[in-house]
Chains A and B, each alone.
Chain A
Amino acid sequence: MAKQVPIVDYLVLGDQPHLEAHECKECGALYWDRRNACAKCGKTEFANKAVGTTGLVRSYAIVHQAAPGVPVPYVSAVIELDGGGQVKCNVVNVDPEPDKVSLGMKVQFTTFVAGTDDEGTEAVCFGFEPV
C-alpha cells in the first residue's frame, strides 16, 4: 500500500481516521490550527482532543467558480459536530445541487485520496457525506 500523509495535520489517519482539535485546557475552546494562546481566554496550554465523526450541515454553498484546476461544482460547508466543535470542509458523495443538499442534513466523516506526489505518497483528505 502506498505511503499516506494527511492533507492537514488535524486529520489523524490509521485504522479509525478522525479529526483532532487543539483544546484549550482552561476554557475548552477548540482550534484546528496551531495557536500561541487561546483566542477566547488567553491561556496558553492546549491538549489534543478527538472530535465526533457525525454531525449536521450548518451552512453550505455550492461553488461554481473557483481557482484554475479546482473541479467545480462542489459543496463547501460548515459541519456542526456531534459532541461539539465546527469544521469547514466539503460535503462529498452527493450531487452538488440545491435540492440534494439541505441545511441541518445529517452527515458522517469520510476520507479519500486527494493526490499523489512524485515519490508515490498519497495525500488523504476528509469530507462529510450524507448518512
Chain B
Amino acid sequence: MSDAVWVLGADMTKVGRYPDKDIVDLAAEASLNALADGGVTIHDMNILAAGTQFSGGLGQQLQHQIGQTGIPVYNVTNACATGATAVRTVYMSIAAGESDMGLAVGAEQMGKMGLLAGNAARGDTNVFEPSGRFGSVLPADGWLGSGTMPAVFGQAGMEYAYEHDGVGFEQFAKVAQKNHEHSALNPLSQYRKVFSLEEIMEARVISYPNTLPMCCPTGDAAAAIVLVSDAKLKTLSLEQQKRAVKISASILTSDPWTEGSAAQPDVSTLTRNAAKQAYEKAGVGPEDLDLVELHDCFATAELIHYDNLGLCEPGGAGAFIDSRAPWRDGSMPVNVSGGLISKGHPIGMTGAGGVFEITTQLRGEAGDRQIEGAKVGMAHVIGLGSACGIHLLEKSAA
C-alpha cells in the first residue's frame, strides 16, 4: 500500500468582487462544488482546514452552511501562503494516518482594499515619543524606504537585476504582457484584457519598475480541494480513481536568516529551499514539469522565481522571458491561468487556487487554456513574512 495522498475533487469560484455575498457564501460554493466534483459529501470528511488572512474562524462558519459533522477544524493564516497551508494541513493529517479524507478551503473577500501594507496615513504628531522595536517617533513608511508591496517586490526584482545581467524594466513588463494574454483564455479570471508591451511600459507607475498592469488586483474568491488517502481512493469508483491527481510533494518553508533580511524580507532563499525539497520528495526535476503556477503578485516577483524554482539557467531569468519559454506555447508554460496579475489574488484563496489550476490541467479539463498532455505540474506561493508553499502534482494511475 502506498502512503500517497491524492486530490479527489477541486473547485474555484470566478475571482471578482461580490458585494452581495459574504466570504462564507464563496467558501460554501467552492466547497460544495469540490465535494460534488469528487463524488463525496461533507459526511465523508474527517478533517477541515479553512484558510483566510482577514476573516478568522471561517471553518466553523462554513460548517454551519454545509454540514456540522463534529470533525476537527483548523483555521489557518499564513499571509499569501494561507491557501497552500490549508491544503498542506489536510495532507499532513492524511499522511499521518489520522484521516482518510479531508477538505481544504482557501477564501478571501477584499473588495477594493488598495495597498495592504505601508498604508498608514501621515498626520500631525503632537509630541515625539519613541515606540516599538525600532524606537520610532514617526511612521517609517516614506521616510525610511517603503513597506508597500509593489515597492518591496519591485526591490526584490531590482536586487536580482543588480546581481544578474540581462534583466530590466522591459523583461519585467514582458511577464505582465504574458499573464494578461493568458488570462483571456480563463473564464475564472478577474480580468481578461490583453495589453501590448508598450501599453504596460507606459502605464501609470505604482512603484518603478512595477506599473499598474504589473501589479495584482485585490478581489474576492474561494477555492476548495478534497484530499484522499491512497487506501481510501482504491475503495472508490473507477471514475473517481481515474480523475484523481497524485500529490507527489507538499512542502512548506519559512525564511532562514540571511544577511539582507535585517533590511528587507528575502523572498528567494525560502523558495529555493522549498523547490529543492519538492523535487527530492517527488523524484522529479524542473525538466519534468509541463506547467507551473507561481506567485506573480508583481511582475518583478515572477521573474526571480524562474530562477528560484530552477526553471531557467542560474542567473538566466531575463533570457528566459526574452525567449518566450514561459508563454503557454513555450517550453515551460508559467501561469497559464493568467496568474495573480490578471486572474487575481484574494490572499487566502490563492494557494488553493493554484492547486485547483494544476489539478484541472492534469485532468485535461482546462478548456481553452488546456496545456495538451500535461502530466506533471507545480503550484507555488509565497507569503511575505515569510512562508513558501509548493505542491507538486502528477497524473498517475491510482
B-contacting residues of A (Cβ < 8 Å)?
5-10, 21, 29-34, 39-40, 58-74, 76-79, 85-90, 98, 103-104, 114-115, 117-119, 121, 123, 125-126
Complex CA–CA separation, A83 to B148 (angstroms): 29
Residue of B119, B134, B143, B263 near A125 (CB, 8 A) is B143
Are A5 and B260 in touch, CB under 8 angstroms?
A: no
Given contacts A70-B142, A78-B159, contact A62 B208 (CB under 8 A): yes
Residue of A8, A29, A78, A98 near B135 (CB, 8 A) is A8
Residues of B within 8 A of A86 (CB): 259-260, 262-264
Asked if B156 is at the interface of the complex by the 8 Å CB criterion, the answer is yes
A-contacting residues of B (Cβ < 8 Å)?
115, 118-123, 125-128, 130, 133-138, 140-146, 148, 150-152, 154-156, 158-159, 161-162, 169, 204-210, 257, 259-264
Q: What are 8 A-B residue pairs whose CB atoms fall within 8 Å in the complex? A: A21-B262, A59-B264, A61-B158, A65-B207, A67-B122, A78-B145, A117-B127, A123-B138
Are B122 and A69 in touch, CB under 8 angstroms?
A: yes
Residues of A within 8 A of B146 (CB): 61, 63, 66, 74, 76
Complex CA–CA separation, A7 to B115 (angstroms): 24
Complex CA–CA separation, A86 to B258 (angstroms): 11
Complex CA–CA separation, A8 to B119 (angstroms): 19
Residues of B within 8 A of A63 (CB): 142, 146, 148, 150-151, 207
Distance to closest chain A CB from B230 (angstroms):
39
Complex CA–CA separation, A117 to B137 (angstroms): 10
Are B115 and A68 in touch, CB under 8 angstroms?
A: no
Complex CA–CA separation, A88 to B141 (angstroms): 11
Complex CA–CA separation, A31 to B123 (angstroms): 28
Complex CA–CA separation, A51 to B146 (angstroms): 22
Nearest B-chain residue to A57, judged by Cβ: B162
Are B207 and A69 in touch, CB under 8 angstroms?
A: no
Residue of A76, A78, A114 near B138 (CB, 8 A) is A114
Residues of B within 8 A of A5 (CB): 128, 130, 137
Residues of A within 8 A of B136 (CB): 7-9
Complex CA–CA separation, A65 to B203 (angstroms): 13
Are A123 and B133 in touch, CB under 8 angstroms?
A: no
Complex CA–CA separation, A38 to B154 (angstroms): 28
Nearest A-chain residue to B144, judged by Cβ: A89
Residues of B within 8 A of A66 (CB): 115, 118, 141-142, 146, 148
